[in-house]
Structure 1
Amino acid sequence: MTDTQLKLVVLDMAGTTVADGGLVEQAFGAAAERLGVEPGSADHAEKLQYVRDTMGESKITVFRALFGDEEKARRANTAFEEAYGELVDGGRIAPLPGAEEAIRRLRAEGRTVVLTTGFARTTQDAILTALGWHDLADLTLCPADAGRGRPFPDMVLAALLRTGAVADVRQLAVAGDTAYDMLSGVRAGAGLVAGVLTGAHGEAALKEAGATQVLASVALLPDAIAEFEASTGR
């Protein structure tokens, strides 16, 4: 019989384990202005709304959709990453309440924890450095590490392959604050796909995208996993 205990936990960062205080929107504003999008214009408002709607998706993919050609998308992405990095360095970021404790508890229970992001590696590393989190999880992944970002399942499956922690996708738990996190977990075949209400999307959007359960915060995830295993005899 296959052991389907949830031994690998894949967690999103911004909005799920990390509070960034709206830095994504601020960094987008800086990037858009550099590409000639006038602040306060209808074009700016439309593009900003798209950024909000696609929270969790790989940022380069978002910029490709917004600006239409690869050269502009890469310029926008570079400007975004630079602006976000400066804001992070300015101390504008913090762990969400209970997130660090939840990660430590999951690892103490023998589970492998992987942190994922839609940002580039340089920005992910800046966040990890600012929080002192480089050794908190077993592995960290960004879209470039896996092939494609969310909503594709690549980062979740890369976590499985790189850690070797599980033999079956049903032994995976995925948690995040956006519909894209939910889609990536569902498409990877994860046994548990948990939405959290500390970020971009609300309960309805998370459930519509496939969340098996919705939690007030990631701090509740260890108990939710324990309850899930108990209820399924795992």
Structure 2
Amino acid sequence: MSEPRIAVLDVDGTLVDTNYQHALAWYRAFRSLGETYPVWRIHRLIGMGGDRLPAALGGEDTEQRIGQQARDRWSEEFDRLIDEIAPLPGARDLVAALRERGHRVVLASSGKAKHVDHFLDLLAVRDLAEAWTTSDDVESSKPAPDLLQVALEKLGAAADTPSVVIGDSVFDVEAAKNAGMPAIVVRSGGFGDDELRDAGAVAICDTPGDIMAVLDTTDLS
């Protein structure tokens, strides 16, 4: 067994199956404001923070014109879909397995506090995760490393504490690289294995439950 580490887990799309609901909510939000984008283009950006998504999708002009309105309407649309969301297979079991191996667990989410609270209850992990983040904790979202750094601070850990990120998107992997952390990824983000490896993922699995089978080959053994 390796020395205890900090496991920094993404929530949306990694532990709970939210990516397609997020894409649909953004689609409806933009369309309500007179902007229609193909859903596949929106989906390719899920995992990036909402503070960045309008500009990434439509350019800085879109951000200046309707960025905040789109974020507000996205939240309303996502609220209507939230009861359809379920945990991904093995999500809570993975968190429990990490704790049983002696690792510390922090959930690094850039979601709204009310959504994070909902997912904590849905996953039943309040007794397993030592801390968690929300969008209120950072000004710059993924792929910036800020969220991961704040997650360590929540545990009172230094930035160079041995840590591993578990996520579902290239944005998680890039944020981990920017923070100097290795990243394990699940495929629920919809990115290709080649994209995830090129970004720097050290392991790729189908589900959170499948990560348990490869823990002994990672820094979380």
Q: TM-score range by the shorter chain?
A: 0.7 to 0.9
**Residues 1:27 and 2:25 are matched in the alignment:** yes
| Distance (whole Å) between structure 1 residues aligned to residue 31 and residue 24 of structure 2 | 11
> For residues 47-66 of structure 1, what are the structure 2 equivalents within 5 Å?
48-65=39-56, 66=58
Match of 2:179 among 188, 192, 207: 188
C-alpha spacing 1:153/1:213, structure 2 compared with 1 (3 Å): same
Task: After TM superposition, give the deviation of residue 106 of structure 1 in Å.
Answer: 1.1
> For residues 137-152 of structure 1, what are the structure 2 equivalents within 5 Å?
137-152=129-144
Task: After TM superposition, give the deviation of residue 124 of structure 1 in Å.
Answer: 2.4
> For residues 90-109 of structure 1, what are the structure 2 equivalents within 5 Å?
91-109=83-101
**Residues 1:224 and 2:187 are matched in the alignment:** no
User: Which ranges in structure 2 are unaligned for 5 or more consecutive residues?
Assistant: none
Instruction: Give per-residue Cα distances to partners, 1:126-167, cap 9 Å, x unaligned.
Output: 333444444442222134313311101111111112202467
Task: After TM superposition, give the deviation of residue 188 of structure 1 in Å.
Answer: 0.7
Task: After TM superposition, give the deviation of residue 31 of structure 1 in Å.
Answer: 0.6
Could you say what the CA RMSD is over the residues aligned between the two structures, in angstroms? 2.5
Match of 1:173 among 142, 149, 164: 164
| Distance (whole Å) between structure 1 residues aligned to residue 151 and residue 197 of structure 2 | 23
Instruction: Give per-residue Cα distances to partners, 1:63-106, cap 9 Å, x unaligned.
Output: 24436234611110011011112211xx2011111110110121
- The percentage of aligned residue pairs carrying the same residue is 26
C-alpha spacing 1:35/1:182, structure 2 compared with 1 (3 Å): same
SS at match of 1:69: helix
Do 2:149 and 2:159's aligned partners in 1 also have CA atoms closer than 8 Å? no
SS at match of 1:175: strand
SS at match of 1:80: helix
SS at match of 1:214: strand
> For residues 54-133 of structure 1, what are the structure 2 equivalents within 5 Å?
54-65=45-56, 66=58, 68-70=62-64, 72-88=66-82, 91-133=83-125
Which position in structure 1 is the counterpart of 2:34?
36
TM-score (norm 1): 0.81
Do 1:21 and 1:93's aligned partners in 2 also have CA atoms closer than 8 Å? no
Do 1:10 and 1:172's aligned partners in 2 also have CA atoms closer than 8 Å? yes
Which position in structure 2 is the counterpart of 1:205?
195
Larger radius of gyration: 1
How many pairs were matched up? 217
| Distance (whole Å) between structure 2 residues aligned to residue 176 and residue 219 of structure 1 | 13
| One-letter amino acid of the structure 1 residue matched with residue 22 of structure 2 | V
| Distance (whole Å) between structure 2 residues aligned to residue 34 and residue 217 of structure 1 | 34
Comparing 139-148 and 180-189, the one that deviates more:
139-148
| One-letter amino acid of the structure 2 residue matched with residue 186 of structure 1 | K
User: Which ranges in structure 1 are unaligned for 5 or more consecutive residues?
Assistant: 38-42
| Distance (whole Å) between structure 2 residues aligned to residue 166 and residue 105 of structure 1 | 24
SS at match of 1:56: coil
Task: After TM superposition, give the deviation of residue 113 of structure 1 in Å.
Answer: 1.3
